[in-house]
Amino acid sequence: MTRQLLADAAEHADRAAEAADGETAERLGGVADDLRAVADESRSGPDHGWMAKRINTVREAADGADAAVREHADAAVESISEYREGVAGV
């Protein structure tokens, strides 16, 4: 489990936001900010519920978006999911 995965997810969410517009861009940008903040924290990191909420937000925001948005959104979800595999709990 490495926080670099969260930083990578933030980067992909940013790219998806840049490729999107309107509310979709805002939602994806918000997730990117959340991920970046958690990746930079010194505490233990996010729990499963926190990550699940961000994954759902990314998926919902990218639903129906163009291919560029979906590609980066999928990459963000993949990075979050990979990080999540190493988190104890659920």
d(CA 8, CA 55): 14
Residue 1 pLDDT > 60, yes or no? no
Ramachandran quadrant class, 64 (left: phi over 0; alpha: psi -120 to 50; beta: rest): left
Task: Write out the residue range of the structural domain in which residue 7 sits.
Answer: 3-85
d(CA 50, CA 35): 10
What does the pLDDT look like over 6-40, one tens digit per residue? 999 999 999 999 999 999 999 999 999 999 999 88
Number of domains in the chain: 1
pLDDT, position 54: 97
Task: Tell whether 48 is covered by a domain.
Answer: yes
What does the pLDDT look like over 57-88, one tens digit per residue? 999 999 999 999 999 999 999 999 999 998 88
Q: Cβ distance 76 to 58 under 8 Å?
A: yes
- Of 51 and 88, the structure prediction assigns the larger pLDDT to 51
Task: Tell whether 65 is covered by a domain.
Answer: yes
Task: Tell whether 90 is covered by a domain.
Answer: no
